[in-house]
Structure formats: structure tokens, C-alpha cells
Structure 1
């Protein structure tokens, strides 16, 4: 399969759903999403927009990529977790983006997940990565990856409210426009997301990269449960200079480190959890294309060969190869040395 065809299909599948998502996220001022949040069986949040977005994306992918296995965060149990009113809302959103025929087949589209033996090639989808940010006034991203032979060869991360070119003092807040990050077989590109539409992609070499500063910038999760806040202070030893956290939800963090806006992305969760492929494969394609080192908080490489989980990975470290080992020396101690657990 041609990676360029996959990339074009990803963009064409995601572009129509961005306007619908923006209509529901509460905007840049109120921070109050227009949809109710429900809790799935695994304790994670879900909204009608999460479910509808994945259904539309799967519908469009099937038109071009046919029977490639798909693994996504949402499934028929996600639909079942919603109230009857919200399930009707899902069908209305799908109908608006993909037509009434697609709206009548939402359950089918959510139910066709990869199963059986681990596929050699598959697509991973996180329709709204950072649901807490989506409903709570923070950042979020629509994320897709094509994984082949254990490598994320194509990754698309669309962060509709993240202005990757903004000053670091304001980048944590929502912007009226956003950024799309795309990796295709080792080539990294970005595009502006304006008025809900993805613009023309350009080489990352044309973007403004972070200037060396006296303070190291480390992207980490906004949700306190996703990262032990003590780790930021401890990382100052690894960098040899003060560290400032840039806290945002979603895989836009991968995009910021891939494009040089921050020095590293670090997440050391508080409690044990299995890391799903859709939470990492799209972002890993970006940082791989940028030539960065990536692994879990113990420095172990991510294993994308057996979806839906990334082996026994715990946390995330992404950084230039020159600083990766020093950062992992800190995060490994936090994970293994003092009994702290991963959130």
C-alpha cells in the first residue's frame, strides 16, 4: 500500500469532521462542550462526538482502504454507554458529515474492529484524543496512524485549537485556529487548521523552530493523573537548566516536540494502565520522522505489533537522542525506584 495514498485518505477522512467537532467543543472562551460526558466500562470518558467522529472516519476509510484492519478507541460498547438522547445525537452528527446511509450503520462501523491474530498492517484511530480537554476547555486532537510491520509509517494528528506557532506563554490556551501534523514514511509536514478546514501541508523545515533558551520546555499532560508533577522538577538535573512544563491534552504534545517547539515530551503516570496503540502510534510516526528518540518511561521501545495495546509500556519519553538517556535515567527511577505507579 502506498503511504502517500494512505496519508491523503487520512486527511480526506478527517477534514469533514473538524467543523462538527468545533461546533461542539464550547469554543475558546466558555470551555463548556455542548455534549454530555459519559463513562465507559473501563472508567474513561466518552461523548457523542467521540463516537460520531470515529464512525465517520471509519466510513470514509472503508471507501478507500477497503478491508484493512482498524483498531479504534471507540466501539459498540462506547455507543451503549451513551444515553438514548446522546445516541440519537451520534446519528445526527454522522448524518451531517457522511449522509443518512452512514447514520443508519453507526453500530456496524463501530463494531468492525481488528480481532484474531495480530495483523501485519492496520489503522489505529483515536477520534478525540484528550476527551477531558475537549469537554473542559483544553486541547484535544483527532489522531490516525497506519502501522505496518510494527512501525507507524503514516501518522496524522489534527489539533483544532492548538496554534503550534504561538508564543509558549499562551500555547497552553485554546486558539481560534489549530495545527495538523502529518508524517509519511519519515517526512514531517504541518498545516494550519483555519475555519475548521485543514490547509496545505508544508515541510516542517519551513516552520519556526524553538530557539535555544535558558529554560528547557517539556510537554506533559494537563490532567494531573497522567503525569507525576514532581518529575518536572527532577528533570532539571537531566537538562542542566531549569525546566518549564507545557501542559496540554492530546497527542498535540508529540507534534510540539517533533517540530521543535518544546525540548521533550515526558509522561510518567501515577497508576498502572495498559497503553493503547491509538494513544501513541500517530504521535510516534511524527517523532520518528523528526529523528527523535522515543520510548516508555523505562527507555523501552514501543511495541506496535500486537494491537490494541503497546506491549507493557509505561509512560512516554520523547527527546533528541542527545538528551534521551539522561531523561530516562530520571523517569526510570520514578517508575521503578520509589514505588510510584503510573496513572
Structure 2
């Protein structure tokens, strides 16, 4: 079977990053800083990206990596870099600050025929609050996601989702290592972002009610995709605001989650029903909005979106 070795490497890297992130989250004190776009980033984001990129590049030196973070802020803050290096050294004992920044910046690659995309902590605000977050890694070839690995330490007992194209989706316990195949199910729950700025919340709720979905599951991060894949939710939407029609999603925010839902029997598209196109840039520039579902309700959701466009 294809992509088994890639999955082994990505799973190992995600587990290491999850362990690192949890150690930071359970420490007595840690803080975030704001990036130029005003989104938060922590020492755990940087350290997790360094560890993951290091592992991917060691196993697949020819593969490009497109990741969320860069080391730019760390070059300006030796104290922060020292903290990040210390975290990485807990897993890679001989890591130096110079290596750590280089590993982080492996993630500044470009979209190619074959490349990885990753978000070291998707849902940093949830991570900071002690809620849901995800460590998301995906392999893309010819514009199609072939492998998605997503560690969700706060989901249920703590788990890892693995979706491989044509081979289904598994959920692996981060505590026991127990693995089981999962499938979407008929449900009556909308998974929605905790952050109200992540899409047109009122419109999304109206559409869900239109097709008979009345309960809601607020969650940070791509863990929402895991909720759909494992049958805890039936629908997730991220519809753009009318005031910001040109906004496009980042590929690392959806690639791993998308294949995890699809291989569990669900469907993921943009708001027009088109497949997500990961072959062009770090943003989904050909797609507008996101709809992920248990497949059974997908067409009804798309039709309801069309009606709200009129």
C-alpha cells in the first residue's frame, strides 16, 4: 500500500509535537506574542514546527514544506529563541539555536508537484485557553491530499487521526496506542468555530437550521474535522463574510482535516461544491468558503447556501 512509510514518519512527528505542546501547556507559565497579522503564536508553535520539519526533511529531503510559521520573530528575540531551543532539545538533545531556526524555516517552501503542508498548532487561541487544538500534517501530490495526520491532545482522551487516500481513516489513542477505523454517521450537530471571526456565524447557523441541524458543538481548530470523521458532528462550514469576499483559506488549515473526513466517508468542498485545490499556492485561491459534512447532507447544504446568495 502507498504512503505507509510517509504515514509512519508523520505520525511519529505529530506524537513528538503533541508531547512537546502538552508539556508547554501544563507548565506553570507561558505566554504568546502577536505576529504582524495580530494572530497569536507561542514558543510551542515554533518548537513543534522545528521538530516536525526536521523529521520530514530527514526522511524526505527532496520534499518541500509549506508551513504556517517562520523564524522571523525569533531572530529578533534571543530570549524567545533560547526557550524554543530548550523545548526542542528535550526531544533532540544536540539541537542548536541555529539549527532550530533553520528547521522552522524549512517550512517556507513553495507549492510543488509533491509537498507537505503543516500547522504546528492549529487553534492557538484554543491552546492558550486550555481547549481544543490540532497539530496538522498533510502530504499533497498533484494537487490532491494523499495523507493527513492530525494530533488532537484535547479531543476525548487525546487522539491522533490518520487518513490515507483510498485506505480509510483511523483514530489512534495518544495514551494507549489503540487504533480503530472510524466512519462518519448521520447526526444532528453543527461543529462551529469558537472564534466568531472565523466565518459568517449567523449565516452558517441559519443554513444548518434550514436543513434540520439544531445542535451545535463549538470547537477550536481542525479538531472539527475529526468530530465529523468520528461521528460526533455532521457538518462544519466556514463561509466568508459578505464584507470580505476576497478572503481565501490557508491550505494548512484544511488539508489534513479534509482527507480525514473524506476517507471516513464524508465530503469536503468549497461553498460552490467544487473540490479544494491545493495545487496553486499557500492559499486556496480557486475556492471560496469550506463545507465539510457526513456526505448525506452535503447537497442540501450547498442548495441552502445558494438560496442565501439570492
Q: TM-score, normalised by structure 2?
A: 0.90
Tell me: CA distance 1:151–1:125, structure 2 relative to 1, closer, same or farther (3 Å): same
2:138 equivalent to 1:190 = no
Rounded to whole Å, the distance in 2 between the matches of 1:200 and 1:120 is: 34
- Cα separation, 2, equivalents of 1:236 and 1:46: 32
Q: Once superposed, what is the RMSD of the aligned Cα atoms?
A: 2.4
Gaps of at least 5 residues in structure 2 are none
Residue number in structure 1 paired with 2:274: 300
For 2:48, the equivalent position in structure 1 comes to 53
The structure 1 residue matched to 2:220, chosen from 239, 249, 268, is 249
Question: Which residue is equivalent to 2:129?
Answer: 136
Map of 1:327 onto structure 2: 301
Q: Give the distance between the partners of 1:127 and 1:251, measured in 2 at CA.
A: 12
How many pairs does the alignment contain? 306
Which residue pairs with 2:115 in the alignment? 122
User: Retained in 2: the 8 A contact 1:158–1:179?
Assistant: yes
Instruction: Give the TM-score normalised by the residue count of structure 1.
Output: 0.82
Q: Is the 8 A contact 1:227 1:267 kept in 2?
A: yes
**C-alpha distance in structure 2 between counterparts of 1:275 and 1:229, whole Å:** 16
Where do residues 144-293 of structure 1 align in structure 2 (5 Å cutoff)?
144-163=137-156, 177-186=157-166, 187-194=168-175, 199-204=177-182, 216-239=188-211, 241-270=212-241, 271=244, 272-293=246-267
> Aligned to 1:98, what secondary structure does the other structure show?
coil
C-alpha distance in 2, partners of 1:331/1:102?
51
Give the drift of 1:287: 1.6
- Where does the alignment leave 5 or more consecutive residues of structure 1 unmatched? 28-32, 164-176, 338-343
* Stretch moving more, 242-251 or 149-158: 242-251
User: CA offsets, 1:70-121, max 9 Å, x none?
Assistant: 110011224347x4322211111111122223544012112224546x4100
The alpha carbon displacement at 1:268 in A equals 2.0
Aligned equivalent of 1:107: 101
In the TM superposition, residue 142 of structure 1 has moved relative to its aligned partner by 0.4
Contact 1:17 1:97 in 2 (8 A): no
State whether structure 2 residue 45 is matched by structure 1 residue 13.
no
Is the CA contact 1:225–1:269 (under 8 Å) kept in the aligned structure 2?
no
